Chain A
Amino acid sequence: MLHYDVFVNSLADLPEGQEVRLAIRDLAPGTHKYCYSNVTALVSPDAQKYEYGLLVRFGRGQIHPAPYSIKILQQVERIPERWR
C-alpha cells in the first residue's frame, strides 16, 4: 500500500539507506489527503524494506513505475517559531 508520495528531480535525490530530508504528502484517504509534512527519513527502492509505501513522482508529476518504501525518522518544522 502507498502511504506517501514525494516529488524528485531524479532518483539520485533518494539515495538508499541515507538520511534524507523530504517534503512528503500524506495519501491516506479523507479530508487531509495530500497534506504535506517535512521529515527526515530513510528510503529504499525496495518497496518492502521499510514500513510505509512511497510513490515517487518527477518534476512534472509523472509517476515512477516502481514504488519505494520509507521510514520516517523525525518531523521537521520549516516555519520558524515567530510565524507560527
Chain B
Amino acid sequence: MTLVFKDNREFMKALAAAGELVTIEQEVDWDLEAGAIVRKVCEEKGPSPLMNKIKDYPGHRYLGAPIATYRKLAITMGMDPDSSIPQIAAEYVKRTNQQPIKPVLVDKKQAPCKENIITGKDVDLFSLPAPMVHDGDGGRYLSTWHFVTTKDPDNGDVNWGMYRQMCYDSKTMTGPLLPFSDGGKVFHGKYRPRGLAMPFATVIGPDPLSAIAACAPSPIPEPEYTGMLMGKPVELVKCETVDLEVPAHAEIVIEGEILPDVFLEEAPFGEYTGYRTSPRDLRTVYRVKAITYRNDPITTISNMGVPTDEGQLLRSFSLCLEMDTLLRSQGIPITGAFMWPESTHHLVVIGVKTIYSNIAAQIAQLVFGSKLGPWFHMVVVVDDQTDIYNYNEVIHALTTKCHPKKGIHIYEGAGTPLYPFLNFEERLKMAGPKVLFDCTFPIDWDPLSEVPRLVSFKTVYPQEIQEKVLANWEKYGFKAR
C-alpha cells in the first residue's frame, strides 16, 4: 500500500522525518522576509521552512518550497527519499498509466477546509497572509502553490490548473489565465463569448499529489489523475457559493467568479524562467464571494526564480513524461525524455534508436506541435547510446554530433509571454520560436569508414581487458568505486 498524505500536515511530518523540514518559531514578515527565506531555500536545495508566526496575521502559518527537490518529490510519492530520478519517473508512469480513479464526495462535517467560513461583505482577501514574494512584484501573490478549479459549461468537465493569482483589492484577484491552458480554453472559448462569468474555486495548500496533478499537463481530468497518483480516490467537498468541489483537506479555499468582460493590471512577477519577464498587462479578474479555511491555516509559498523551484522541477518532470507518452503512442522508438530543472523546462533531451532518417525532425515536430509545445523551445535528440539523464554524456553528444549547418533546425510555434529572450512585441504576441539540435549521426554513413568511433573505457577495450582492469582497480592503488 502506497503511503499517501491526505494533507500538507501529514506530508510535513514525513518531510521532518527525512530531515527536510525546518520549523521557524520566530516572527517572520510576510512583506519580503518570508519570500527571501523560501528563495534561499530554493537556491540551496534546502529543507522546506514551516513558518509558525507571521507578522500581522496571528494564527496563520506558511509552508515554503514544499516540493522543490527530487528528494521531496520522492517523499511526496511515498518513496525512499534517495530514489533516483529514473526510479521516481518509473513509479510516476506506472501510477498514471492505470485506470483513472474517480474522486469521492464527503460531507461538510468531514471537511476540515470548512472549519471557518466567510461569505458576503465580510470577505477580505487581505485577511489572508498573501506574501510579497519578491521585491518589485506587482502585488501580493496568494496563489503560488495551489490550483484553480473550474467547469466546462457544456459537458461539465472539471479542470484543476495552477494559474498564479495576485491580490488586487479586498474582493479581487488578477492573473494570467493563458488561452492555451485547459482553464483558459474554456474561459476564453466558452464563457467570454457568451458574456458569462466563470465560477472558480482556488485551493491554497492542497495535499501534495493534488498540487502535482494540477500543474501536470495530462489530458486526464486532474481529480482522477490525483486518484491515480494516490492509488485511491481523493476526497472532495462541495463549495459554499459555486457549483464546484474542492479537496476536503485543503488549507484555504477561495470561491468566486471570473469576469468575462473586465481585465485589470497584473504582474510583474518573479517567474519560473528566473526573471521578471512577462509584461505588466490587463489580465483575468477573479471576483471573490467566499473564503473557507482550516484552523491555523498553512498558506503554501513557491518562490519562482533562478533554479530550483517547484515549477521548474515538477513541470520539467511531468512535461517530459507526457512527451514520453506521446512519442511512444506514435510508435517512435525513444529511450526516454528528460528535462533538467535548471533549464527552467526550456530544453528537453530525447533519446531514440535512429532506425530511419530525419527521426529527430519528426520528434521535434510532434512535441512542438503538441499541447505541451508553448512551454519549451529546445529539443536535443540523442541516439540510444547516450544516457539522457547523464549531463556529461548529453553535453558531449551535443557538442560533437550536432552539425552546425545541418543539425540545427528552426521552427515557428506557440509560446508564452514569459520567454526572457523575446522582445517586448513578441512577448505580447506570445511568439514561440523553437530549435531542434539533432545529435544523431546520419544513418546512411558507412559504419566502418564514416561513423566516428566513441573513445571510452566501455567502447574501445576488449571485454577481458575491462574486466581485468576493474578486478585489479584497488590493487593498482585506486580507491574502491
Contact = CB atoms under 8 A, between A and B. Distances in A.
Interface stretch (B16-24, B134-142, B186-194, B318-326): B134-142
A31 B127 contact: yes
A59 B275 CA distance: 13
Contacts of B280: 7, 59
A61 B138 contact: yes
Contacts of A61: 134-138, 268, 276
B259 interface: yes
A65 interface: no
Contacts of A49: none
A35 B138 contact: no
B380 interface: no
A83 B136 CA distance: 30
B167 interface: yes
A28 B343 CA distance: 39
Contacts of B276: 60-61
B264 A78 contact: yes
Given A32-B126, A34-B167, A59-B268, A79 B136 contact: no
Contacts of B127: 31
Given A31-B127, A79-B287, A83-B197, A37 B169 contact: yes
Contacts of B257: 83
B56 A79 contact: no
B285 interface: yes
B265 A7 contact: yes
Interface in A10-67: 23, 25, 30-37, 57, 59-63
A30 B31 CA distance: 10
Given A33-B31, A36-B169, A60 B140 contact: no
A13 to B, nearest CB: 12
Q: Is the interface of A mostly helix, strand, loop or mixed?
A: loop
A62 B275 CA distance: 13
Interface residues of B, number: 32
A32 B167 CA distance: 10
Nearest to B138: A7
A25 B139 contact: yes
A interface residue count range (under 10 / 10 to 19 / 20 to 34 / 35 or more) = 20 to 34
A57 B259 CA distance: 28
A36 B168 CA distance: 5
* Residue in A33, A62, A63 whose Cβ sees the most chain B Cβ within 10 Å: A33
Nearest to B132: A34
Contacts of A80: 261-262
Nearest to B174: A36
Contacts of B134: 61
Contacts of B265: 7, 23, 36
A32 B57 CA distance: 11
A35 B265 CA distance: 12
Given A59-B279, A62-B136, A83-B259, A35 B169 contact: yes
29 contacts: A23-B264, A25-B139, A31-B56, A31-B127, A32-B170, A33-B31, A33-B132, A34-B132, A34-B167, A35-B126, A35-B167, A35-B169, A36-B168, A36-B169, A37-B169, A57-B136, A59-B268, A60-B277, A61-B135, A61-B136, A61-B138, A78-B262, A79-B172, A79-B259, A79-B262, A80-B261, A83-B257, A83-B262, A84-B287
List the 7 closest A-B pairs by CB distance, nearest first.
A61-B136, A60-B276, A32-B126, A36-B168, A61-B268, A31-B56, A31-B126
